[in-house]
């Protein structure tokens, strides 16, 4: 059965039947004891029904949607979250982040949040200040340093900093099958809120596009490429946890477009290239290898702000 085009008018009688169903389903949640759950379920029902009515969804299209969601569930496991990926490429993740991380400014503006991504893993190894997160991953060494402060400009001692990134081939460690732990670690800021570590200079890479989300992007003519970035999650008592990235100034992919809409101007940082043999901040010997350095000062908002 083929539904009429969304551009074609429907009769008042048909519209009344459809609206009656919306009202009936919404009313089915009236006895929900949790007021927030009631609000969410009733609003979700209205929006879903209005979407179906607006586009005049066909039964074949509905079945295709169910198959898409089923396939997303089948490919999801402990190391891959296709539903987060779907949320990311629809901009839903960034919209949720925007709502829950409102701008907060004191002496300094709080660092902006961006997408969590599907490749964070708990219990990443701890490294000392100035340690190396690479763990043997391929890529150009990069010295990353900065401070962690609150919006009043006070240093945040012992802030926990989680960092993770893809290697030079565009893969995170969990995408390999050999159990490696590379390109991720956590460290702590010192008593003055300062931190530093060696990582890899970020490079562009595609989000996983061998599954349902990738097929959807291909169908609509969208690229799966992400702008070059390095992930951070920073936590400290009494302050709002920040999940963010930094991006590489001059990366052409920023202008082309980030597939998950994560780029923010304040998070674009200069990664300064260093010539072979240039002295490193900690005296590390890199031989005839080039390296880069960048600075990322992190400002945490008060909890609840």
Instruction: Give the structural domain span for 190.
Output: 92-300
Report field, pTM of the whole predicted structure over 0.85: yes
Evaluate whether residue 7 is within a structural domain: no
Say yes or no: 185 and 61 in one domain.
no
Say yes or no: 38 and 114 in one domain.
no
Q: Domain count of the chain?
A: 2
Of 35, 61, 85, the last residue of a domain is 85
Say yes or no: 161 and 111 in one domain.
yes
Say yes or no: 20 and 131 in one domain.
no
pLDDT tens series, the chain, 305 aa: 455 566 678 999 999 999 999 999 999 999 999 999 999 999 999 999 999 999 999 999 999 999 999 999 999 988 788 999 999 999 999 999 999 888 787 778 999 999 998 889 899 999 999 999 999 999 999 999 999 999 999 999 999 999 999 999 999 998 899 999 999 999 999 999 999 999 999 999 999 999 999 999 999 999 999 999 999 999 999 999 999 999 999 999 999 999 999 999 999 999 999 999 999 999 999 999 999 999 999 999 999 87
Say yes or no: 294 and 156 in one domain.
yes
Of 56, 85, 114, the last residue of a domain is 85
Evaluate whether residue 6 is within a structural domain: no
- The Cα-based distances of 277 to 17, 142, 168, 271, 292 in angstroms read 76, 14, 21, 17, 12
Evaluate whether residue 1 is within a structural domain: no
Say yes or no: 237 and 156 in one domain.
yes
Evaluate whether residue 140 is within a structural domain: yes
CATH of the domain at 116: 2.60.130.10
Say yes or no: 74 and 122 in one domain.
no
Say yes or no: 212 and 69 in one domain.
no
Evaluate whether residue 57 is within a structural domain: yes
Say yes or no: 183 and 228 in one domain.
yes
Evaluate whether residue 68 is within a structural domain: yes
Say yes or no: 120 and 74 in one domain.
no
Say yes or no: 57 and 141 in one domain.
no
Say yes or no: 75 and 132 in one domain.
no
């Amino acid at each position: 059965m083929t539904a009429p085009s969304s551009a074609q008018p429907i009769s008042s009688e048909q519209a009344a039947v459809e609206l009656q169903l919306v009202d009936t389903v919404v009313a089915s949640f009236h006895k929900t004891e949790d007021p927030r759950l009631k609000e969410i379920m009733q609003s979700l029902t209205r929006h879903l029904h209005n979407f179906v009515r607006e586009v005049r969804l066909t039964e074949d299209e509905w079945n295709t949607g169910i198959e898409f969601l089923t396939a997303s569930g089948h490919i999801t496991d402990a190391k891959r979250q296709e539903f987060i990926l779907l949320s990311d490429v629809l901009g839903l993740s960034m919209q949720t982040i925007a709502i829950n991380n409102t701008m907060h400014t004191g002496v300094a503006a709080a660092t902006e949040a961006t997408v969590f991504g599907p490749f964070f893993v708990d219990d990443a190894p701890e490294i000392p200040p100035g340690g190396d997160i690479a763990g043997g991953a391929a890529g150009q060494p990069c010295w990353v340093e900065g401070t962690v402060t609150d919006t009043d400009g006070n240093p945040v001692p012992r802030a926990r900093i989680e960092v993770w990134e893809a290697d030079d081939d565009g893969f995170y460690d969990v995408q390999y099958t050999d159990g490696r732990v590379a390109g991720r670690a956590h460290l702590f800021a010192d008593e003055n809120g300062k931190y530093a570590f060696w990582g890899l200079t970020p490079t562009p890479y595609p989000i996983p596009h061998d599954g349902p989300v990738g097929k959807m992007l291909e169908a609509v003519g969208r690229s799966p490429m992400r702008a070059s970035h390095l992930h951070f999650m920073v936590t400290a008592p009494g302050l709002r946890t920040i999940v963010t990235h930094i991006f590489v100034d001059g990366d052409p992919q920023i202008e082309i477009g980030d597939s998950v809409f994560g780029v923010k101007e304040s998070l674009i940082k200069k990664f300064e290239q260093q010539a072979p043999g240039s002295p490193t901040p900690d005296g590390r010997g890199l031989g005839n290898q080039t390296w880069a350095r960048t600075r990322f000062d992190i400002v945490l908002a008060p909890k609840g702000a």
